Amino acid sequence: MKSDDIKAMQEAIKLSASSLKDETIPTGGPFGAVIYKNGEFIAGGYNHVLANHDPSAHGEVQAIRAACQKLNTWDLSGCTLYTSCEPCPMCLMTSKWANIDKIYFAATRKDAADIGFKDDDLYELLKPGVYATPLPECRNEAVEVMQQWLKKFSTNGKY
């Protein structure tokens, strides 16, 4: 790992410590993240799940939202995400949806489990047949809306 990567990770870890600011009520868990593009800081964020009453307000998601706003795009191709802890499945998939090229993390999901977070358990839910139940009776209706959307907004037959 290059010294620039280590400095960026140290920024993410510093943001994770923002959860310690208030002596009584944390903003959320001790997780922070920063996003860089071409060696330049784009955005950062830390967990606001409790402060925002929002289970999706993880540090990585906060950083992705801020980076998208700053760059005026949903596509973060060419960006690198540095996060103080291994991303939960939601944050990992959000990063992938945003086309982030590289993801570096410091602590592991096992470390998060050691302090009571369920990230590791959530990865277990990704096994086929565990995470959701299809309702095949409604599939055709849903697919029809998807096809209409594709016809209306796609220029190359896919999104």
**Contact present, 126 and 105 (Cβ < 8 Å):** no
Catalytic residue among 60, 86, 137, 144: 60
> Does residue 60 carry a catalytic annotation?
yes
Angle at 78 between CA 1 and CA 3, to 5 degrees: 20
Q: Which of 24, 45, 23, 20 is nearest to 34 (CA)?
A: 45
At CB < 8 A and 24+ separation, what contacts does 52-57 make?
Answer: 52/28, 56/90, 57/28
The DSSP code sequence of 106-157 is EE-HHHHHHTT--HHHHHHTTSTTTS----GGGHHHHHHHHHHHHHHH-SSS
Query: How many C-beta neighbours within 10 Å does residue 37 have?
Result: 18
Residues tagged active-site: 60
